[in-house]
Amino acid sequence: MSVIIRPVEAKDKSNWIKLWCDPSESYLKFYKSVDKVTPEITESTWQRFFDEKEPVYCAVAEVDGEVIGFTHYLTHRDTWMIKDTLYLNDLYVSPQNRLSGVGRKLIEYVYNETDKLGAGKCYWCTQFENHRAQLLYTKVGVSMGMLLYCRP
């Protein structure tokens, strides 16, 4: 399988939306959030990928012209360093294409983008129960030993 990782293009919208929020199988379904992320949020997210003023990016994984995965990432200020930090916000590969190295290639692409954008570090988080993804993450990253909290 020959995988191409590239920046998202306008022509990818319908495939991205399917992978992002399809109620039968998608990133948001995995995180039990299909009903929490409104169509307005989805459209805003999509538009941000193409707005040069927004530090929000998307890359897709493509095989034989079909988009089979994506990653979303963004840069932000960091109080612990002068350079910006890159946060890998979302990573998804369609179930039938998992365990074939696509996730790793998406992360490697984001690592390259970290360097191109001049960010000082790249980080991400995942659910404690997402053991399958953690098998990859422990190979390409180092646990920061942090727990993630948010306002209820």
Report yes or no on 102 lying in a domain: yes
Report yes or no on 136 lying in a domain: yes
For residue 97, CA distances in Å to 28, 55, 66 come to: 17, 29, 11
Say what the pLDDT of residue 99 is: 87
User: Hey, what are 115's tokens?
Assistant: 């360097």
- Domain containing 58 equals 3-140
Q: Is the pLDDT of residue 46 over 80?
A: yes
Say what the pLDDT of residue 91 is: 97
Report yes or no on 90 lying in a domain: yes
Report yes or no on 152 lying in a domain: no
C-beta separation of 113 from 121 below 8 A: no
Q: Is the pLDDT of residue 1 over 80?
A: no
Indicate the number of domains in the chain.
Answer: 1
Question: Per residue in 3-31, pLDDT tens?
Answer: 999 999 999 999 999 999 999 999 999 99
- Confidence bin at 126 (pLDDT 50/70/90): confident
Report yes or no on 151 lying in a domain: no
End-to-end Cα, the chain, rounded Å: 43
76: β partners: 85
Selection from 149, 62, 67, 75 nearest residue 118 by Cα? 75
Give the predicted TM-score (pTM) of the model: 0.93
CB atoms within 10 A of CB 120: 13
Report yes or no on 110 lying in a domain: yes
Mean pLDDT of 126-132: 82
CATH number at residue 46: 3.40.630.30
Say what the pLDDT of residue 68 is: 97
Report yes or no on 64 lying in a domain: yes
